[in-house]
Structures are given as structure tokens and as C-alpha cells.
Homo-oligomer: A and B are copies of this chain.
Amino acid sequence: MLTISQFAATAGVTVRTIRHYHHVGLLPEPERDASGYRRYSAQAAVDLIRIRTLADAGVPLARIDALLHAQPTEFAAAITDIDAELQRKIDQLTDYRSRIAELASGERLVLPPEVVAILDRMRSLGVSELRVRLERDSWILMQALDPHVMPQRIRDKNANFDDPETTRLYLACDQSVDWDPHDPRVDRLIDDMDAWEIKHERDSSQPGYLKLVVSRISEASPAWQRILDALAHRAQRRRTAVPDS
């Protein structure tokens, strides 16, 4: 007969594991010898190995108990089930592996590839990292709060960067980050951007969740703050003069 540690060793588990299985009723308590030690039969070892085979495969102990007392048919069905679950886990882990590999590269994980492409395009056009990060935050908020507008916004944004005039304006604005707010170039920029908004039938009003992004842009640079305030003011005047149809 086997002592508890020999018994545990046949399945490569700890003594504590065995006692736990007794406690939860998964393994029946065996006979005791004269001094109260548990003594295990070879049959118990076979049972234990079956239990561990299932447990290793991730089957909860409570379900193992039921399984071992099930009809062969149900048992076979459950096995098929468990096997499919294992395959699913394997696929998932494989997926996690590829994600882990991308961890170094930041937003690739959190945004759809089209948006990542836009951000990369901005970088390659020479847009500052600060501006790119603000843009990224705005996409993240949009994704969380208003996901159905994303496809349209992606098209718009790409169209903007396809247009050399719009791109020039965007870059000029980006460069104004450390200009003095009263630099005459800022005035020209405001005029140009206002004209652009009129031409493209846009205005500076935004869905509520983007107000935060706008306020962070303003905080980042006094020049930007002046530009945004001026544009909002002019747009407001236009709306008052020509009310919504």
C-alpha cells in the first residue's frame, strides 16, 4: 500500500492536493493504518491520474466529480467538449502571443489599423508627436463614446491629407505651437482656417466628448488657444447671422 506522499507522487501532485480532494469529496477517504495514516490502493492511483488528467485540462473539480460518475455517452460528449475548449485556449494564447509582440509599439493595440495608418501618416508628414498624441486621444474617446461615426471620420481625415492645401494648413497650424499668440502669422492662420471651414462647410462646433480634447489642445499652446477661440467666435457669429434652415 501507498502512503499519502507516495500516492501523490504517482500523479505528480502535492500531499496538500490529495487532502484537498478528500475534503471536497472528489477522492474517497481511504483506510487508515494503526497510527491513523491514510493508506492508498493501486486503484486509487488510477482514479487519481484520471482526475489529474481532467484537472490539468482545466476542468473544474466540481465538474470532474460529476464526470467520473457519468454514463460513457455523456462522458464522451464531455470529453469532446473539453477538447474543443482546450483548442480554443490554445488559439487564444497564440493570439496573445502576437499581441504581446506589439506591446512596444503603443497605439497599434488600442485603435483600428485604419486609424493607426492615419497617425503614422501624420508622423511621416512631419506633424509633431505632441499633436499626434492629442489626435490619438481624440480617436480613443470617439471609439469609446461614438463608434459609429468612425468610418466617416476616417474617410474625411484621409481626404484632408490627400488635399495638399489642407495638409499645408494643418502643418502650419502644428508649427505655430510656440509662436506668440499676437504674432501676425497667427492672424493670417486664423483667416486661412476660417476660409477653409467656410469652403468645406464645416464649423468648429463639436460633440461634447471632443470639447475635452480641444481644451487640452488649448492648454498645450497659447497660440493654439487663440486660434481655436477666434475660430469658434467667428463660427458663432455666422450661425447667428444665418440661422439654421
Q: Taking beta carbons and an 8 Å cutoff, which residues of A are in contact with B?
A: 1-2, 6-7, 9-10, 41-43, 45-46, 49-50, 53-54, 56-58, 72, 75-76, 79, 82-83, 86-87, 89-90, 93-94, 96-97, 99-101, 103-104, 106-107, 109-110, 136-138, 140-141, 143-145, 209, 212-213
User: Measured between alpha carbons, how far is A86 from B145 in the docked complex, in Å?
Assistant: 34
| A224–B157 CA distance with the chains assembled, in angstroms | 90
B86 lies within 8 A of A93 (CB)? yes
Q: How far is the CA of A86 from the CA of B82 in the complex (A)?
A: 20
Q: Can you name 12 A-B residue pairings with CB atoms under 8 Å?
A: A1-B212, A45-B140, A49-B110, A54-B103, A57-B93, A57-B96, A57-B99, A57-B100, A83-B101, A86-B93, A90-B97, A93-B93
A142 to chain B, nearest CB (A): 9
Give chain B residues whose Cβ lies under 8 Å from the Cβ of A138: 42
Q: How far is the CA of A90 from the CA of B93 in the complex (A)?
A: 7
Contacts of A54 in B (CB 8 A): 100, 103
Q: A89-B93, A96-B57, A137-B43 are in contact. Are A103 and B50 (CB under 8 A)?
A: yes
Whether A6 pairs with B97 at a CB distance below 8 angstroms is no
The complex places the Cα of A94 from the Cα of B209 at a distance, in Å, of 47
Bound state CA distance, A205 and B136, in angstroms?
Answer: 81
**Contacting residue for A86 out of B1, B7, B97, B209, CB 8 A:** B97
- Interface SS of chain A: helix
Report whether B140 and A53 are in contact in the complex, using a CB–CB cutoff of 8 Å: no
B86-A100 in contact (CB<8A):
yes
Question: Do the beta carbons of B83 and A53 come within 8 Å of each other?
Answer: no
Nearest CB of B to A140, in Å? 4
Judge whether B137 and A107 touch: CB under 8 Å. no
Chain B residue at smallest Cβ distance from A106:
B46
- B140 close to A110 (CB less than 8 A): no
The answer to whether A145 touches B6, judged by C-beta atoms less than 8 angstroms apart, is yes
CA gap between A122 and B1 in the complex, in Å: 24
Q: Per a CB cutoff under 8 Å, which of B57, B83, B100 touches A79?
A: B100
Bound-state CA distance A56–B93 (Å) is 8
Using Cβ atoms and an 8 Å threshold, which residues of chain B touch A90?
90, 93-94, 97
Contacts of A89 in B (CB 8 A): 93
Q: Which B residues lie within 8 Å of A97 (CB)?
A: 57, 83, 86-87, 90
A107 to B9 Cα, complex, angstroms: 17
